Amino acid sequence: MKCIAIDDEALALEIIKNFCQRLNDTEIELQTYTNPIEGLEQVKRQKPDILLLDVEMGDVCGVDIAKKIPSQTSLIFTTAFAEYAVDGFDLNAVDFLHKPFSFTRFEKAIRKAAELRKLQQQNLPATPEDEYISVKSEYRTVTIRYTDILYIESMGNYVKIYYPDAPYTLSQISMKSLQEQLPADMFLRVHKSFIVPKHRIAHFSKKDITLYNNQTIPVGRSYAKSLEALTDV
């Protein structure tokens, strides 16, 4: 499951990271942000399964942020101020973790969010995130979910489709043909040799893109304008 944690205290985020690593039967892909505005932008862009959100973060109130998150994202408040619990449940928060919370209590909240996610998936119609592309690789057809793709690299008449935690898939297809099969609202051609999924982009400039695994992708001069679409996400 994809999870984003927003807290202006780095130590609090380290505790959450440690707790996520200790989970045995629930795999969490975690991203953390101490800047609540930046964190909210990524929540809107990536639509994570779970948002762990602090309430009081300087001049920013987590309750205000919670009102702007995607409806399919399960919200778990994490705060030292118990008086915000009512606000949390008014916003349909899955749980409210009162700091300092134990690993057992954290695990219970994550399990609750995971169960809710399963129920939602059983009732919701298919979305672009559920869809896939099929390509030929050697003598077989491989189906690849859009959300599993890290980035795509052209190698002449072949393409390499990379994943976050698995070997790449090599397919004999032109970059142009592959691009035509991918949804334009989810993928960007940023170089004659590279296509990247929008949800994998951590930050970018006119010269290069950095993905969330710190992989750097060059931006071709003629493709730099396509990055303007990211400012509207």
Which is higher by pLDDT, 154 or 132? 154
| 96, 147: one domain | no
Instruction: Give the count of domains, the chain.
Output: 2
Condensed to tens digits (0 to 9), the pLDDT of residues 114-139 reads 888 777 666 655 555 458 888 998 88
Question: What CATH number does the domain containing 26 carry?
Answer: 3.40.50.2300
Q: Domain span at residue 173?
A: 131-232
| 118, 8: one domain | yes
183 has a pLDDT exceeding 70: yes
Find the Cα–Cα–Cα–Cα dihedral 116, 121, 125, 126, rounded to 10°.
140
- Mean per-residue pLDDT, 181-198: 92
Condensed to tens digits (0 to 9), the pLDDT of residues 72-95 reads 899 999 988 655 544 444 567 888
| Contact (CB, 8 A) for 27 and 114 | no
| 40, 117: one domain | yes
The answer to whether the predicted template modeling score (pTM) of the entire model surpasses 0.75 is no
Residues 91 and 69: their CA atoms lie apart, in Å, by 11
| Contact (CB, 8 A) for 100 and 119 | no
Q: Report the SS3 class of residue 91.
A: coil
Give me the chain's average pLDDT, please.
85
Comparing 36-50, 74-88, 182-196, 216-230, which segment has the lowest mean pLDDT?
A: 74-88
**What integer pLDDT is reported at residue 231 of this predicted model?**
53
| Contact (CB, 8 A) for 1 and 117 | yes
Residues 105 and 22: their CA atoms lie apart, in Å, by 13
- Mean per-residue pLDDT, 34-53: 92
User: Which of 101, 123, 145 is the C-terminal boundary of a domain?
Assistant: 123
**What integer pLDDT is reported at residue 86 of this predicted model?**
44
CA dihedral (168, 135, 202, 23) positive or negative: negative
| 80, 8: one domain | yes
- Mean per-residue pLDDT, 219-231: 78
27 has a pLDDT exceeding 60: yes
| 190, 83: one domain | no
- Mean per-residue pLDDT, 96-111: 92
Which is higher by pLDDT, 73 or 226? 73
The residues pairing with 75 across neighbouring beta strands, listed in sequence order, are 51
User: Which of 123, 154, 170 is the C-terminal boundary of a domain?
Assistant: 123
**What integer pLDDT is reported at residue 107 of this predicted model?**
94
Residues 192 and 213: their CA atoms lie apart, in Å, by 22
User: Which of 123, 155, 179 is the C-terminal boundary of a domain?
Assistant: 123
